[in-house]
Structure 1
């Protein structure tokens, strides 16, 4: 891992000149990785990105350098930061899990958020609700470390450095602003069911809407929601998601993890047929009730406000917009041996490692 060098100056040089690799498999990972890229660059590091599958062809702005598989291997990065549930283990460097969302209980723990695949050295968790289960798993498995850093994706939620949230809010002209987001999972998606109800709300014009869909939603659904854009609505892309969350007053969604991201701000959320409704959600099942539910969200009572605060503190209590810096510090501590000695990865992970090589077509060292 991290080779010690004789003098303090040499050690600083080693860290400053380090190369890091960002890895993604879907476009929705880009807003997770961008704040981390910015933080790494601010510290003088070389930042490279390798995107595959659904993220292939996407880019992060310069000076991030986009690379392919062979370049990623030759780079020999100090660490690989993954916003996917897997990572190419044949690339050098510490393997750091950043997560691609919050735990929204779409699946059982064994198959979902808390599944350990034997691929990562460090899990950078978002808050106590994620940290405590992973620390219990780390104590049992002993082949990875866990540090509660907060989530890089939410750094801009608390720091509108580029004014993007203000720009999204400007066309509202002072009207209340509602954001709509939906998962792609067909059995959980609100998008097909709420289209007409949302269209009626947009047509009324008393509120302004920011509309977005998961990148995997059907193209015909994208076309229908894009068609609602006009004087009272805008369609936003995945890369604008966090800015939209900061801009909006209320969220309308389903079982998407955007619900948790939004609640971190302690703002009200209305959910349609959520798989596991919680006290901080205003959940409903009939599209005809949408106007009523929005009215409740824009006038939250004390009970709802308390539930929002409790849930926000459980999943992401850090509100300083500095999670990326904590991820980097946690990685440096791991590489310096400050997280103790980790066991070798379990033999049970060998099959998954071979699958990754086969899927990516790499049979080198």
Structure 2
């Protein structure tokens, strides 16, 4: 069989870490992988010297990929290849929006959804029956393959417990602006080692405020790959960001501040008042048995795969769909307005 060509379609810096496990699996199979960086919000400096980048949509069309792997919500229809959604995060079921506007928003772009675990597979399968133009295969999330492999970085030699603070950029949900003074106070106790990492869209003034907190007890980290930080921390402090799900899958506790997800939250230690935060973090570090049991139940429903081989399962699902073609699927919607917006964004008008 001839080599398959896989396009790694990226719009945000976090896509690098999400797509590289797939790139590794693609190359290990003897197939080809190339990157396309779409829009102005992703930084080309993160491309490595040994990685292939296609600079324009015309170059992508000339290369003619068999499949396009997308850690996002949309992909242009005028780019050739099977369109595959591998997701940019987990479903945190935010109370501020419905399922159909959030994780399960079907935008008519994809032929194949590779889902993370039972609680997302069911939602997409029901929508596949309704729409008829895409397939759903549960594979696990390729972005987490490195999480279940030995940490590449040297282990931290600081004997103190490590707390990782992550926060969403959405103003109505973000704990970061509210907790600056309390984290400064907790930092100054020297009791714990702090790591702070935010979504790349976090407000610059909030980023600057936390960068100013750096000392021997707290480090602010800007990175395109959060997994090494997840592996270093004992407890996460968060709000309503999907990164907390990644951390929980290590069977490590998460303390949330004013969490706004819907449904069962027994796997979280949520507080609503700043003065409750220190005690909640201490409780999380003690790893209480009822909390760990709730986390185990959450893992079984969210992402039960711990073998680090989700990328292989995605590629198997792509190969199976390519072999079958689209004969059993309906035609995707035209999406004329979205196509126009994508062409304008990418400056590509024909064909």
| TM-score, length-scaled by structure 1 | 0.90
* 1:51 is the counterpart of 2:37: yes
Q: Within 5 Å, which residues of 2 pair with 1:182-221?
A: 182-221=167-206
- Equivalent of 1:352 in 332, 338, 341: 338
* 1:96 is the counterpart of 2:81: no
Higher helix share: 1
* Match in the other structure for 1:5: none
* Match in the other structure for 1:21: 7
CA distance in 1, matches of 2:129, 2:160: 51
**CA shift digits 1:113-164 (9 cap, x unpaired):** 1011111010000000110110111122111111111111111111136x12
Paired residues of 1:122 and 1:144 also in contact (CA < 8 A):
yes
Paired residues of 2:14 and 2:225 also in contact (CA < 8 A):
no
CA distance in 2, matches of 1:114, 1:58: 32
CA RMSD, Structure 1 to Structure 2 (Å): 1.7
Paired residues of 2:156 and 2:232 also in contact (CA < 8 A):
no
* Match in the other structure for 1:236: 221
Q: Structure 1 residues 128-137 or 352-361, which shifts more?
A: 352-361
**CA shift digits 1:49-84 (9 cap, x unpaired):** 111231143533243212222211211011110111
- Equivalent of 1:134 in 124, 136, 139: 124
CA distance in 2, matches of 1:20, 1:136: 28
Partner SS state of residue 46, structure 2: coil
- Equivalent of 2:67 in 52, 56, 79: 79
Cα drift, residue 207 of structure 1: 1.4
* Match in the other structure for 2:282: 295
CA distance in 2, matches of 1:34, 1:222: 27
Paired residues of 1:25 and 1:56 also in contact (CA < 8 A):
no
- Equivalent of 1:153 in 143, 154, 177: 143
* 1:122 is the counterpart of 2:112: yes
Partner SS state of residue 22, structure 1: strand
* Match in the other structure for 1:306: 293
Cα drift, residue 339 of structure 1: 8.3
Cα drift, residue 38 of structure 1: 1.4
CA distance in 2, matches of 1:114, 1:121: 15
Paired residues of 2:11 and 2:38 also in contact (CA < 8 A):
yes
* Match in the other structure for 2:53: 66
- Equivalent of 2:101 in 111, 132, 135: 111
Structure 1 residue runs of 5 or longer lacking an equivalent are: 1-10
Cα drift, residue 43 of structure 1: 1.6
CA distance in 1, matches of 2:149, 2:124: 28
Q: How many residues were matched structurally?
A: 345
CA distance in 2, matches of 1:34, 1:98: 12
Aligned pair in 2 of structure 1 residues 59, 90: CA closer, same or farther (>3 Å)? Answer: farther
CA distance in 1, matches of 2:78, 2:131: 21
Paired residues of 2:145 and 2:311 also in contact (CA < 8 A):
yes
CA distance in 1, matches of 2:325, 2:117: 21
Q: Within 5 Å, which residues of 2 pair with 1:218-229?
A: 218-229=203-214
Structure 2 residue runs of 5 or longer lacking an equivalent are: none
Aligned pair in 2 of structure 1 residues 338, 79: CA closer, same or farther (>3 Å)? Answer: closer
Paired residues of 1:59 and 1:66 also in contact (CA < 8 A):
no
CA distance in 1, matches of 2:30, 2:212: 44
Paired residues of 1:122 and 1:146 also in contact (CA < 8 A):
yes
Paired residues of 2:11 and 2:42 also in contact (CA < 8 A):
yes
